[in-house]
Amino acid sequence: MTTYTPMIQQYFKIKADYEDAFLFFRLGDFYEMFFNDAIEASNILEITLTSRDGGSADKIPMCGVPFHSAAGYIETLVKKGHKVAICEQTEDPRAAKGIVRREVVKVVTPGTIVDGKTIDANSNHYIGAADQLQDGRYTLAYVDLATGEGKVEVITGDERTLISEIEALGMKEIVVRERLHLVLNDEMSKRDIVLSMEGGELKDENLSIVASIPNDLSVACQTLSNYLKRTQKSSLDHLRPFQYIQKSEKLSIDANSMRNLELVQSIRNGSKEGTLFWLLDETATAMGARKLRSWIHQPLADKDAIENRLALVEDLIKEYFLRDDLVGLLKEVYDLERLTGRISMGSASGRDLAQLRNSLRKVPSLKQSLMDSGLERLQRFSERLDPCEEVLAILEASVAENPPLSIKEGGIIKDGYNDQLDTYRDASRNGKEWLARLERDERDRTGIKSLKIGYNRIFGYYIEITKSNIHLADLERYERKQTLANAERYITAELKETEELILNAESEGTELEYTLFCDVRDTMKKHISRVQQLAGILSELDVLLSFSTVSEKYRFVKPQFHAGRALDIKNGRHPVVEKMMDISLYVPNNCTLTEDANMLLITGPNMSGKSTFMRQVALTVIMAQMGCYVPCEYAKLPVTDQIFTRIGAADDLASGQSTFMMEMMESRYAIGNATEKSLLLFDEIGRGTSTYDGMSLAQAMMEFIHDEIGANTLFSTHYHELTKLDSDLKRLVNVHVAAMEQEGRVVFLHKVMAGAADKSYGIHVAQLAGLPESIVVRAKSLLETFENNEQMTLSNNVTEQMSFFDLKEETEQVGPESLRVIGKICEADLVNMTPMQAMQMIFLWQKELKEIK
């Protein structure tokens, strides 16, 4: 260290506390990076790598970015999973004695970045913290730093269940204590999720944020709070107490199911278009859009709460003109949640305060419109809206109507708010008029018509009187400043005061205005919780209005709920598919699950609509439990606690998992966590392995779900042999998606009908896909051959088996030991055996027969 300059030694000392981050070290108008930081950053940011003399024998690698454009570079680094520590000069270089004092003022991480081109204001940007409880379950706490919204929930299951929830919430960073770091590190890195470790002591000052949750869940919450305070180094007064989300209160949807059902992100390109969110998002505000995403991810699981939302939507559908007025008012409401976040962290501008004021101006009209509806539920909703009169009064008095974005160039504070500021402004704006008026007053007072007021840089402002008129001057008030050949120059106390005002008005006025602005902003911090509460209610209203608009536009109906598990949907539709195609071409379908028959085995050709049918049932359940009307003519539904799907096939290349392995892991997760109140959707289980393996696994799963879980289940398959299970599984019903042949080609009817399908139509689908005709013809020929061979083989096997048991002379040659084994074979209940059990039995029988002499 002694070989480096004092500044580089200062750099090393600061960098030692931020080894896992790029250190943006402020030098004048640039943020500089040195050593390995410079080498890595120059590659990532595609900026020039240079070097400088740092006092050592070798040059020091260095690169830098201008401070005024650093935000874009910081965002690029964070987007790629890195952290950036911002190190500022914390004293005036002109006043510094030696090295300028510097310190890190903020650490920007993938979970704490709140602004930038890649940050979607319509989505929550959560950072989470995980902790393992003594009983093996996990606690997951998460916060959106921009809005202050915090939640905590208990995850029942292994670390895969925890990771699934983390992925479903779209988190980019997870904070853990040391004991969990080793457990999660590999899995998080595979998913490009930053795993940060927080080892600090849990502080009592954080207890207010965990006041309303069970004590054993507080570790994750306080760990996250500690990390945020350590990295942000600013006031976080906008962080709300964590809301405890109990499993019984929500419909749980894991990450796989969210992806398979395309709830918020399209499988094809990752965009919003083609998702349930895209369909339902008619919100007027960014905070409403975020609330909608939250409701999609965590629909309700409480019947009374669901029906309360549905009733509000029903009222809003009836009141078209009211709805139109409310939407118009909400469009003029800014993002109150993010505004309070910026106020709390000290980054709010004058324009932010003006947006807060303009938003609060709309609340009384919103409140009155709801009250004037005359509908009791909407009137009760109106009573929840707090106009925040005190907050509005402060902002009305202090903030200019159209303040600039900059907070240090003036123009933020309204005229009349502060007398001293008004004086400065008046001096700055009207200085020349003041001087002209003073000159007239002095002429009148002295009677000297040639008296004039002038200015030079050396003496400032002065009163000039010719020597012939000096006897008329009031020399008791005048102080001689300069003598000229034919005149004298004087100053007065009033002129000196005016001079100071004029010369210093702009700089001192701007400085005073910044101080006043900071005072107003700090005052707003005291009212953050009220504004946040108002924002939550307004965002809720925004989503309910969106539901009512969408429901009316697409002819949705109000669902009914009951306490059982039966599900009855008449002429249900897939709302997203319907929106994307000609509505007249969409074929609706019924789905009926009764208490005694709640498992559907769905057969039918590829492309016939099996997966769409299954998805539309799941979407109907999700929409209903969000409190939205649903796409059908009638729906009577149970309250579902979880939805699990295994639809589609995709390799997990990052972790080296094959399609079939992923299929089995997702199936295991669903079967291991489902309850009697869950909804299971399995699409063509077992297709990733051999026919008999796949068919055996599919049957075993269906039997287990039927006998052990009892959940509502939709199970599609191409294994027609499984359709015979309806005779053994009492609650299983066969249905099929109809198709017909017309002039040698298949026509998909997209209609779900009772009974099993008679054909797969696979070759017809290949023909539709455009495979060469020669391949299609050859395939048909081979299919005919295979089917004939299979029938011959089956016939021969039956004949052989019958002859084995029927021929008396051969039977008489078999000894008693062999007959005993044959008896076991005849008595074996193969239908109720799993494939593995059957294989074990065959092995034992073989062994016994080989031992018989």
Angstrom distance (rounded) from CA 791 to CA 796: 9
The verdict on 737 and 830 lying in the same domain is no
CATH number for 71: 3.40.1170.10
Q: Are 63 and 52 in contact (CB under 8 A)?
A: no
The verdict on 473 and 565 lying in the same domain is no
In a domain, 267, yes or no: no
pLDDT of residue 815: 65
Angstrom distance (rounded) from CA 690 to CA 692: 6
Flag whether 611 is marked binding: yes
In a domain, 163, yes or no: yes
Flag whether 609 is marked binding: yes
The verdict on 737 and 827 lying in the same domain is no
Angstrom distance (rounded) from CA 263 to CA 267: 10
CA distances from 563 to 302, 595, 629 (A): 11, 11, 19
Rounded to the nearest 5 degrees, what angle is found at the Cα of 403, between the Cα atoms of 399 and 405? Answer: 125
Q: Return the beta strands (E) in 53-137 as ranges.
A: 60-66, 83-89, 102-108, 126-132
pLDDT of residue 269: 81
Angstrom distance (rounded) from CA 35 to CA 43: 13
Tell me which of 585 and 568 has the higher pLDDT. Answer: 568
Does the pLDDT of residue 799 top 50, yes or no?
Answer: no
Residue 696 — φ and ψ, nearest 5°? Answer: -65, -45
Residue 94 — φ and ψ, nearest 5°? Answer: -70, -25
The verdict on 763 and 791 lying in the same domain is no
pLDDT of residue 801: 45
Range of the domain at 46: 6-108
- pLDDT band at residue 766 using 50, 70 and 90 as cut-offs: low
In a domain, 120, yes or no: no
Helices (H), 627-772: 659-673, 691-704, 762-768
The verdict on 197 and 342 lying in the same domain is yes
Q: What is the CA radius of gyration of the chain?
A: 38
The verdict on 151 and 135 lying in the same domain is yes
The verdict on 691 and 627 lying in the same domain is yes
pLDDT of residue 816: 66
The verdict on 481 and 610 lying in the same domain is no
In a domain, 206, yes or no: yes
Q: What is the DSSP string of 219-271?
A: HHHHHHHHHHHHHH-S--TTPPPPEEE-GGGB-EE-HHHHHHTTSSS-TTTS-
The secondary structure element, H or E, covering residue 489 is: strand 487-491
CATH number for 736: 3.40.50.300
In a domain, 830, yes or no: yes
pLDDT of residue 800: 46
- pLDDT band at residue 646 using 50, 70 and 90 as cut-offs: confident
Does the pLDDT of residue 490 top 90, yes or no?
Answer: yes
DSSP assignment letter at 413: B
The verdict on 65 and 154 lying in the same domain is no
The verdict on 88 and 26 lying in the same domain is yes
- pLDDT band at residue 666 using 50, 70 and 90 as cut-offs: confident
The verdict on 97 and 133 lying in the same domain is no
CATH number for 506: 1.10.1420.10
pLDDT of residue 55: 81
- Residue that the structure tokens 């699934």 belong to: 164
Rounded percentage of the chain residues whose pLDDT exceeds 70: 86
In a domain, 536, yes or no: no
- pLDDT band at residue 424 using 50, 70 and 90 as cut-offs: confident
pLDDT of residue 853: 52
What average pLDDT does the segment 127-155 reach? 93
**Which residues, including other chains, have CB under 8 Å from residue 574's CB and lie 6 or more apart?**
586, 612, 613, 615, 616, 619, 631
Nearest to 599 by CA among 708, 687, 696, 692: 708
pLDDT of residue 739: 77
Angstrom distance (rounded) from CA 686 to CA 262: 23
Does the pLDDT of residue 804 top 80, yes or no?
Answer: no
What average pLDDT does the segment 170-198 reach? 90
The verdict on 833 and 794 lying in the same domain is no
pLDDT of residue 827: 67
Structure tokens at 88: 């500022």
In a domain, 670, yes or no: yes
Q: Which segment, 357-361, 700-704, 780-784, is predicted with the most confidence on average?
A: 357-361
Q: What is the pLDDT of residues 267-305, one digit of tens each?
A: 888 889 999 999 999 999 999 999 999 999 999 999 999
Does the pLDDT of residue 839 top 90, yes or no?
Answer: no
What b/e readout covers 682-712, taking b as 16+ CB neighbours within 10 angstroms? bbbbbbbbeeeebbbbbbbbbbebbeebbbb
What's the mean per-residue pLDDT of the chain?
87
What average pLDDT does the segment 681-686 reach? 84
What average pLDDT does the segment 824-830 reach? 68
In a domain, 390, yes or no: no
669: three-class secondary structure by DSSP: helix
CA atoms within 13 A on the CB side of 361: 12
Q: How many domains does the chain have?
A: 6
Q: What is the pLDDT of residues 504-521, one digit of tens each?
A: 887 888 899 999 999 999
CATH number for 364: 3.30.420.110
Tell me which of 582 and 710 has the higher pLDDT. Answer: 710
Q: Which segment, 106-120, 222-236, 313-327, 834-848, is predicted with the most confidence on average?
A: 313-327
pLDDT of residue 202: 72
Rounded to the nearest 5 degrees, what angle is found at the Cα of 280, between the Cα atoms of 276 and 285? Answer: 125
What average pLDDT does the segment 118-127 reach? 89
Q: What is the pLDDT of residues 372-397, one digit of tens each?
A: 999 999 999 999 999 999 999 999 99
Tell me whether strands 173-176 and 126-132 are parallel, antiparallel or unpaired.
Answer: parallel
Q: What is the pLDDT of residues 721-764, one digit of tens each?
A: 888 999 999 999 999 988 776 666 667 778 899 988 766 656 65
Structure tokens at 181: 């770091």
Does the pLDDT of residue 531 top 70, yes or no?
Answer: yes
Does the pLDDT of residue 708 top 90, yes or no?
Answer: yes
Q: What is the pLDDT of residues 433-485, one digit of tens each?
A: 888 888 999 999 999 999 999 988 788 899 999 999 999 988 889 999 999 99
